[in-house]
Structure 1
Amino acid sequence: MIGVTTTPTTTGGPPRSPARRRRVDSLLVLCVLLIAAMVWQDRVVAALDAPALRTGSTVFVAVCVQAMPFLALGVLISGMIAAFVPASALRRVLPRNTAAAVGVAGMAGLALPGCECASVPVARRLMQQGVPPAVALAFLLAAPAVNPVVLVATAVAFPGEPAMVLARFLGSLATAVVTGWLWVRIGRAEWIAERALRRIVPRPGASRWAVFAETARHDLVEAGGFLVLGGLTAAVLNVAVPASWVTSLAGQVALGVVVMAVLAVVLALCSEADAFVAASLSALPLLPRLVFLVVGPAVDVKLVALQAGTFGRAFAVRFAPLTFLVAVVCGVVAGLLVLGGAR
């Protein structure tokens, strides 16, 4: 009798699961990068020693370090509004007429000494408390530009030009109010992401301090990543824009206004420090430097990144160009009225 060896088949049985592939996760990528850095250490050190990279890293750290304290201040105020200020109180304080409320919100910017990073989470929280978006956005633009700290810094940076303080105040306040009024007319609710208007629901029985802590933590984690992204963008653009472009604008007022407006968006300076940068550009007339000071706190790359992360991309691509145009026009008009033109 001849024995026959048979091999098992899968016919009629359960299908055999394929071999499981290892997923490439962030830890594996980090390990590979660390090993590569150790192997090619000399080349990595030589590459990181490039002047452009050193300049870019300095700008990146400066933007983040300057903005982070004010961002933290903003999320603390945001948490306090969510925990301790009922929506009914805000509705009682603001005028029922939205156009009038925009003007009140613009003047309320005098009360919050912070930069533009601080105003974004506060504006979001105001919307969640029932404040009309145009009113909250007017406050967002006014707070970093017309507060006492910024005005005093401008006076110190331009000791021989006291009119610059008045011109900056009027141009920035007009930018906030006019943009708010325009948003009343052309703004659409669907442009603002639903997550921006969704309130954080506290746990049943949670205290107000627990609501404050959870709201502040949520806003800081969400906005911090976009601040880093904006700082990285500002660093790259700072390195890419030659300094000689600015010095070549002496005596060219119209071109200077355009270039300084774009430069304000690119450099992404804190509103408490931008006056000293503008004062150092003494070769330029006052009018382009004023436009630089009006545009910067209203729209720059880090602020656009924060707005896109907070209110959604559809909002940012509409609000940023509108704000830029209004800020340039208001800055020029304020300069012509207060500074006497192009000097």
Structure 2
Amino acid sequence: MTEIATEPRRVRPRRTVTSVEVLCALLVVAVVFQRPLGDLLDFPALRTGATVFLAVCVQAMPFLVLGVLVSGLIAAFVPPGALRRLLPGRTAAAVPVAGVAGLALPGCECASVPVARRLVQQGVAPAAALSFLLAAPAVNPVVLVATAVAFPGQPRMVLARFIASLLTACAMGWLWSRFGRPEWLAERALRRVEAQHGGGSRWVVFAESARHDLVEAGGFLVLGGLTSAVFNVAVPTGWLESLGGHLVLGVLVLAVLAVVLALCSEADAFVVASMPGLPLIPKLVFLVVGPAVDLKLVAMQSGAFGRRFAARFAPATFVVAITSALVVGALLLGGA
């Protein structure tokens, strides 16, 4: 008998709805049906919350898209070894250079973690790679421009964020070079090398990188917009004003909030700028702590470098980020 070869049936992957599509759908519905929704939900609190949500998302979206596009281009066309060749041989000098090199990676924390791991795998000193990891999502031009737009007429806020974030990255790099131990890094962070894309199209790599970052960051933007809207509606203005009168309490609350919200660094300025009644120094703490240590970043660091690393690096970064923001804020922002 002749066997008849049957071609295996292809299973089509199930189409899933991403957070970016949900965000776009919500924005379109809110804009198109603004008047009917306003008549249906004619409550002052809901109107205020919807206004804040739309303002945060609409303002932040262009910067978010620009950030993931540039990040995708770098991931596809800039070889990871390029940064290693630019670093000085001495670790102490390589740390600030790697921090300033963060200007070249306009992406969120999601992009900086795998890049830092590749640098370690290719022989870059861990201290310099960690400095780059912390600086890249906080000092790049997209984040700084977004901060300037979120805080119009306050250029010192932009300068303070840049200096405090770079100071945090360098301080953690120097601390790691002095006290860090190689055994705290997981074996996979030192030995495993990222697969090369070989003959694959660089534009495919670009598209996949940009899509991944946009899907990840879009969800956090929606969360941030909703949280900001609820925050403005649910929290009385008097409570915020009283919190603003207690600098230490305001700093601690905003620092913890930055860790819990885990916002994308391209959108966090719009969220914190919409919080009324708070002085600039606690807001600066929020902007410096968020890109350096938050829940999603700790999870990604644990996966890339190991739990022993994350358990030591995240708490130390939290303290250093708050201290840096307070010192720089006191010098540049004063009592604002």
The two structures share one fold, judged by TM-score above 0.5: yes
Match of residue 275, structure 1, among 269, 278, 281? 269
The percentage of aligned residue pairs carrying the same residue is 59
Please say if residues 144 and 150 of structure 1, whose CA atoms lie closer than 8 Å, have aligned partners that are also in contact: yes
**Aligned to 1:283, what secondary structure does the other structure show?**
coil
Please say if residues 127 and 177 of structure 2, whose CA atoms lie closer than 8 Å, have aligned partners that are also in contact: yes
Give the equivalent residue in structure 2 for 1:164.
157
Residues 7-18 of structure 1: matches in 2 within 5 Å?
none
Distance 1:77 1:333, change over 3 A: same
1:265 has 2:259 as partner: yes
1:314 has 2:308 as partner: yes
Q: What are the superposed Cα offsets for residues 185-241 of structure 1, whole Å, 9 maximum, x if unpaired?
A: 111111111112211466xxx835489979x989x99x999999999x999x99999
- Offset, 1:308: 1.1
Normalization by structure 2: what TM-score?
0.68
Match of residue 207, structure 1, among 198, 217, 222? 198
Normalization by structure 1: what TM-score?
0.67
1:291 has 2:282 as partner: no
Q: What are the superposed Cα offsets for residues 272-313 of structure 1, whole Å, 9 maximum, x if unpaired?
A: 111112211230111111111111111111111111112111
Give the equivalent residue in structure 2 for 1:328.
322
Distance 1:72 1:305, change over 3 A: farther
Give the equivalent residue in structure 2 for 1:193.
186
Give the equivalent residue in structure 2 for 1:21.
none
CA distance in 2, matches of 1:155, 1:230: 21
Letter in 1 for 2:85: R
Q: What are the superposed Cα offsets for residues 237-275 of structure 1, whole Å, 9 maximum, x if unpaired?
A: 999997457564121111111111111111111111111
- Offset, 1:151: 1.0
**Aligned to 1:270, what secondary structure does the other structure show?**
coil
- Offset, 1:111: 1.5
CA distance in 1, matches of 2:157, 2:183: 39
Please say if residues 226 and 309 of structure 1, whose CA atoms lie closer than 8 Å, have aligned partners that are also in contact: no
Give the equivalent residue in structure 1 for 2:246.
252
CA distance in 2, matches of 1:111, 1:68: 16
- Offset, 1:110: 1.3
Give the equivalent residue in structure 2 for 1:26.
none
Letter in 1 for 2:296: K
Q: Which runs of 5+ in 1 are unaligned?
A: 1-54
Q: Which moved more, 1:325-334 or 1:300-309?
A: 300-309
Give the equivalent residue in structure 1 for 2:123.
130
Letter in 2 for 1:270: C
**Aligned to 2:147, what secondary structure does the other structure show?**
helix
Match of residue 144, structure 2, among 134, 146, 151? 151
What's the RMSD between the two structures over aligned residues? 3.9
Q: What are the superposed Cα offsets for residues 61-84 of structure 1, whole Å, 9 maximum, x if unpaired?
A: x9xx98997679757745656xx4
Residues 2-151 of structure 1: matches in 2 within 5 Å?
77-78=74-75, 84-85=79-80, 87=81, 90-151=83-144
CA distance in 1, matches of 2:269, 2:193: 37
Give the equivalent residue in structure 1 for 2:168.
175
Please say if residues 259 and 294 of structure 2, whose CA atoms lie closer than 8 Å, have aligned partners that are also in contact: yes
CA distance in 2, matches of 1:225, 1:157: 23
Letter in 2 for 1:187: G
- Offset, 1:158: 1.3
